[in-house]
Amino acid sequence: MLDDGDCGGGVPVSTTAVQDSVERLTSSLRAHGVEGARVALVLGSGLGDFVDRVRGARAIPYASIDGMPQSSVPGHAGKLVVGDVGGVRVVVQQGRVHLYEGWSAHEVTRAVRAFGRLGVHALVLTNAAGGMKRAWPPPTLMRITDHVNLQGRTPLLPGEAGSGNPYDAELGAALDEAARASKVPLERGVYVGVLGPSYETPAEIRYLTAFGADAVGMSTVCEAQAGRAAGMRVAAISCITNLAAGLSPGPLNHAEVVEVGKQASQRFCDLLEAAVPRLSARVA
């Protein structure tokens, strides 16, 4: 992996190198016919079944896309799927890469920035997360209203101002509307992004709860920042796949995360299928 430069790691960021890598990926996506999508979706661990709802779907393995980082984490299929949902052209990222795999913040968000260059208007980020409320048993779905970035990294380039809360209130309302229409319970809360790959200790969960966080995971925050900086409007959903350390009855493991994500698949897919046309209408 080529380090683009990572503000959190003390390495000077080469803006030109980052932009060139995004343009290389964008050109490759165009060559594969990935254009014209209005909505992009990034699917987290165990949540990849949504691609079965995409009509006229065409899958492109990441390995065939020049400049597309590839994950080694179970539950991330490593395919880009293009097609239609509810009459809306979409591009679906079936799996993502993570900082804890050794990728830089700019590599983690390269695809998101490329989607922006391809003209995508709305970005929907999803993840599997640990829950910090006993009242939200797995697999609860939670719309992210704000986040806390404790990853020690930023995807923003020099001169790129942060936008404050990157999660769009109007798109959030569209998700709420879709949840009511599809009869899928959808909570609201704050997501905290940590570096990983280790799960949090009970003491850390008490600390994060004091911050006002409701769910914790190892992705999403950099993508949300980069997506907003790339000119897209951003919405996000966490699937609570386990109660966080100190709240769960046993030790945490990734296999459980993937399995519970699959258990939530029907409701999760129903929600996204109902949401896509509503999101597209909001960014018309």
SS3 236: strand
The residue type of 19 is: Q
The catalytically annotated residue of 37, 68, 101, 114 is 101
SS3 149: strand
Radius of gyration of the chain (CA): 17
Cβ neighbours of residue 87 closer than 8 Å, sequence gap 6 or more: 277
Query: Within a 10 A sphere around the Cβ of 195, how many other Cβ atoms?
Result: 14
* CB-based contact 217:241 (threshold 8 Å): no
Structure tokens at 70: 């590839």
The catalytically annotated residue of 21, 37, 68, 76 is 76
Q: Reply yes or no on whether 98 is catalytic.
A: yes
CATH 3.40.50.1580 fits 7-282, yes or no: yes
SS3 122: strand
Q: Which of 267, 84, 251, 276 is nearest to 174 (CA)?
A: 276
* Residue 4 confidence (pLDDT) above 90: no
The catalytically annotated residue of 14, 35, 173, 254 is 254
* CB-based contact 273:41 (threshold 8 Å): no
Q: Reply yes or no on whether 76 is catalytic.
A: yes
pTM of the model: 0.91
* Residue 228 confidence (pLDDT) above 50: yes
Q: What is the mean pLDDT of residues 49-75?
A: 90
The catalytically annotated residue of 21, 127, 219, 265 is 219
The catalytically annotated residue of 21, 37, 45, 280 is 45
* Residue 74 confidence (pLDDT) above 70: no
Q: Model confidence over 120-166: pLDDT tens digits?
A: 999 999 999 999 999 998 899 999 999 999 999 999 998 786 668 99
SS3 255: helix
**Domain boundaries of the chain, sorted by first residue:** 7-282
Average pLDDT value over all residues in the chain: 90
- What is the pairing mode between strands 140-150 and 233-243? antiparallel
Q: Reply yes or no on whether 219 is catalytic.
A: yes
d(CA 156, CA 97): 17
d(CA 204, CA 207): 5
The catalytically annotated residue of 98, 106, 121, 147 is 98
Q: Reply yes or no on whether 165 is catalytic.
A: no
Residue 15 phi, psi dihedral angles, 5° rounding = -60, -40
The catalytically annotated residue of 238, 242, 265, 280 is 242
